């Protein structure tokens, strides 16, 4: 598993790990039942604190992306397709919000935004 951390990111390291693992699960790179590295192994691989990886795994478990079994490790949990769709829609909303903000700054009319979206959807 390849996780890339950036010291220049505004996000804390645990959040970078969480986001990248969520993306891997949502994209199908990691599927139900796949095992994740142990908290200690991931910390060692990334050269970070065990507490940081523990926080990332705790957040993933809280959000239902992984399940941890004592003595066995952490695994990608079985996901409800409706939940996956909702998470992806939430991500789209985040990107649309940023795009609309930029469009307002540039005084791009709504019709032009619609045309741009239509064009991008056709590609």
**Res. 81 pLDDT band, cuts 50 70 90:** low
Q: Can you give the pLDDT at residue 51?
A: 97
C-alpha angle 84-18-75 in degrees, rounded to nearest 5: 70
Q: Can you give the pLDDT at residue 88?
A: 82
Of residues 85 and 102, more confidence is placed in: 102
**C-alpha–C-alpha distance, residues 81 and 98, integer Å:** 26
Q: Can you give the pLDDT at residue 80?
A: 62
pLDDT tens, position by position, 83-101: 778 888 888 999 999 999 9
Which residues are CB-neighbours of 91 under 8 A, at least 6 positions away? none
Q: Can you give the pLDDT at residue 2?
A: 86
In this prediction, residues 34-56 reach a mean pLDDT of 95
**C-alpha–C-alpha distance, residues 90 and 84, integer Å:** 10
**Res. 75 pLDDT band, cuts 50 70 90:** very high
Which residues are CB-neighbours of 73 under 8 A, at least 6 positions away? 35, 36, 38
pTM, entire model: 0.71
């Amino acid at each position: 598993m390849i996780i890339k951390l950036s010291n220049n990111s505004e996000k804390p390291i645990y959040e970078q790990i969480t986001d990248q693992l969520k993306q891997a699960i949502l994209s199908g790179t990691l599927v139900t039942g796949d095992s994740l590295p142990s908290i200690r192994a991931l910390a060692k691989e990334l050269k970070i604190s065990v507490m940081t990886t523990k926080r990332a795994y705790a957040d993933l478990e809280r959000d239902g992306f992984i399940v941890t079994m004592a003595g066995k490790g952490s695994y990608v949990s079985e996901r409800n397709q409706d939940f996956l769709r909702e998470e992806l829609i939430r991500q789209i909303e985040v990107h649309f919000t940023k795009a609309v903000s930029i469009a307002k700054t540039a005084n791009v009319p709504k019709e032009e935004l619609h045309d741009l979206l239509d064009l991008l959807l056709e590609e």
